[in-house]
Structure 1
Amino acid sequence: MLVDLAAVEAAASTIQHDVVRTPTVESPGLTDALGVPVTVKLELLQRTGSFKARGATAKLRSLDDAERTAGVVAVSGGNHGIAVAAMADALGVKATIVMPRSAPRRAVELAERHGASVHLTGDVTEAFALSARLQSEGLTLLHPFDDPIVIAGQGTVGLEFARDAGPLTDVLVSIGGGGLVSGVAAAVRALRPEVRVWGVETEGSDTMAQALAAGAPVPMVPTSIVTTLSPPAVTELTFEHVRALVEDVLVVTDAEAVRGSLDLAEAAKVWTEPAAGCLVPAARRVIERVGPSCRLGLVVCGGNATVSDVLTWAERFHVA
């Protein structure tokens, strides 16, 4: 049931001419801030501003002629929709994107700019329901995480990280539905079995942490501001990957995630969204748990947040 290294390597071969091999670099600023060596994988420099282009392209490249002609539908809180719209446009496939109205306006605008038909719904649960109806009408679902092909595509992040980074003891990965952490863990644990992989969520969108506590996926109504990490539930597929391959899932507050984005801007000199900012407070917890001899790797998953967005959140949470 789990995606293996062979599947990730096959995805890497499939998408190699469509996506960027993003930089893997040591971060002196984060090393100073956290007190341990830190290496970052800069997926915010990927096409469309996040890792999502990888899984979207892998799935789009797998379609047969009839599926390409009919088009695809995707549900997204932001980044997946941007990626599907852009990569479908590049590959000549018609895309329909369904987003909750809480999705960032910029995400909607970018999806429309790439020629996608965008439908807005009241919340993410309604978005998934609408996508199911559109799928029944003939569109192919390009699920953001519940698809082995998508997971293998996201796993190419871990493939590159494991091959390009120096010594690591722990890798931290943000979790929305769990596609990225599943793929990264599959690749990293295969190539560097001694490395621990940690997932990170925000309160109000901690669907994977709740699933682990319950022993199975459970539904919830997301309340976190981090809409790119806010599915109504994880799935059995991603749950099983995390249960088998991930050390633990750490949950931080929205305020900590926003502060983390500012920390990344100040220390690492990169502009990120809170979906990546959440890694910084989680990294401090990992250091507390495993000790100061660790060497951390952070998958900086995306940078699709405007200055106005982050400053508004910082004011809301009194984060200076």
Structure 2
Amino acid sequence: MIDISDIEAAARRIAGHVVRTPTVPSPGLGALLGVPVTAKLELLQRTGSFKARGATAKLLSLSGAERAAGVVAVSGGNHGIALAVMAAALDVKATVVMPRSAPARSIALVEDAGASVRLTDGMDSAFRLVTVLRDEGLTLVHPFDDPVVIAGQGTVGLELAEDAGELTDVVVSVGGGGLIAGVAAALRARRPGVRVWGVETVGAQAMSGALGAGAPVPVPLSSLVTTLSAPSVSRLTYDHVSALVEEVLVVPDRDAVQGCLDLADHAKVWAEPAAGCLLPAARQVAARIGADARIGLVVCGGNTTPRELTGWADRFGLL
């Protein structure tokens, strides 16, 4: 299990390479949800998501030989962007394996940063290819199954604990579970009374599926939220979530897209559906906890285009 000393060490390592993002009260979201809301704006992080933290922590931990050989990652978008940009900044050669369903903008950003992109038919085949490339000598920078990466993501929770006012509950999006594992570990140490809730979208239910089965299991993927679409969680992230997280809620893609529109309208931030899903989940939390709730939202990323968001909104009849 990751402990607070691992997260504090990661914070010292990545300081100067990543942004200490704002933690701000949101009167607009508070009015929408009926309880006070604080937003941790990770969409203002370098590369547009929290992923820069874990990628940087891992890159800075490499030996000279590992740096010379290069690194490889699998990604539906944000992890690949983060690794490509941060590897270029640290002069490390990177290869990113992505499914063809990944947003075109994300693929372009990875290529523009100088990384080599390998496209596959889906996330399952992407994970298989990245294993082959790792065995050929590249160092795998896993998006979530790595204690160094999780500790890096945990610095989000460290900053939230230090910068937020009173909180009773924090809601975190879940893909493979690296972010929520790190945030929950940090909050358990720094604010042990705060409940942590996860949220997934229908068709990207790797963690809720694992919790239901009692262990990580493969899950079918159908959600439009590719940045949350892990084919399974890892034992490492499962153990953290099962021990430290209150519950993983599941919301439809439509509600995640509506959440993006609500974040733009009420919080004045441009978020991707992986963050938009926080709002329908937060409504559930507020309904369960009642008027005493003080909710924190980890707004994890903003890497979506106006055309993508309006296309999804039109598909669901939200415009």
Please state which band the TM-score falls in when normalised by the shorter chain.
over 0.9
What is the alpha-carbon distance in structure 2 between the residues aligned to residue 102 and residue 214 of structure 1?
A: 28
Residue 31, structure 1, aligned to residue 35, structure 2? no
Letter in 1 for 2:197: W
Residue 191, structure 1, aligned to residue 190, structure 2? yes
Cross-structure match for 1:61: 60
**Are the equivalent residues in 1 in contact too, given 2:200–2:250 (CA < 8 A)?**
yes
Cross-structure match for 2:90: 91
Residues 80-124 of structure 1: CA deviation (Å, up to 9, x unaligned): 000000000000000000000000001110001110000000000
Q: Which runs of 4+ in 1 moved over 4 A?
A: none
Residue 308, structure 1, aligned to residue 307, structure 2? yes
**5+ residue gaps in structure 1?**
none
What is the alpha-carbon distance in structure 1 between the residues aligned to residue 95 and residue 318 of structure 2?
A: 37
3-state SS, counterpart of residue 62 of structure 1: coil
Cross-structure match for 1:282: 281
Letter in 1 for 2:38: T
Instruction: Report the TM-score when normalising by structure 1.
Output: 0.99
What is the alpha-carbon distance in structure 2 between the residues aligned to residue 124 and residue 204 of structure 1?
A: 13
Cross-structure match for 2:151: 152
**5+ residue gaps in structure 2?**
none
**Are the equivalent residues in 1 in contact too, given 2:97–2:118 (CA < 8 A)?**
yes
**Are the equivalent residues in 1 in contact too, given 2:170–2:296 (CA < 8 A)?**
yes
What is the alpha-carbon distance in structure 2 between the residues aligned to residue 291 and residue 31 of structure 1?
A: 13
Residues 179-235 of structure 1: CA deviation (Å, up to 9, x unaligned): 000000000111000000000000000110011011011101210000000010001
3-state SS, counterpart of residue 232 of structure 1: coil
Note the 1:211-230 alignment, pairs <5 A: 211-230=210-229
Note the 1:230-245 alignment, pairs <5 A: 230-245=229-244
Q: CA deviation at 1:254?
A: 0.1
What is the alpha-carbon distance in structure 2 between the residues aligned to residue 293 and residue 319 of structure 1?
A: 31
Cross-structure match for 1:166: 165
Letter in 1 for 2:260: S
Cross-structure match for 1:46: 45
3-state SS, counterpart of residue 292 of structure 2: coil
Letter in 1 for 2:311: T
Letter in 2 for 1:271: W
Q: CA deviation at 1:288?
A: 1.2
Identity %: 67
Cross-structure match for 1:71: 70
Letter in 2 for 1:239: Y
3-state SS, counterpart of residue 220 of structure 2: coil
Cross-structure match for 2:79: 80
Letter in 2 for 1:213: G
Q: CA deviation at 1:289?
A: 1.2
Note the 1:89-128 alignment, pairs <5 A: 89-128=88-127
What is the alpha-carbon distance in structure 2 between the residues aligned to residue 288 and residue 82 of structure 1?
A: 36
Q: CA deviation at 1:318?
A: 1.2
Q: CA deviation at 1:139?
A: 0.2
What is the alpha-carbon distance in structure 2 between the residues aligned to residue 80 and residue 207 of structure 1?
A: 17
Cross-structure match for 1:139: 138
What is the alpha-carbon distance in structure 2 between the residues aligned to residue 319 and residue 302 of structure 1?
A: 21
Q: CA deviation at 1:291?
A: 1.2
What is the alpha-carbon distance in structure 2 between the residues aligned to residue 271 and residue 265 of structure 1?
A: 5
RMSD over aligned Cα atoms: 0.5
Cross-structure match for 2:11: 12
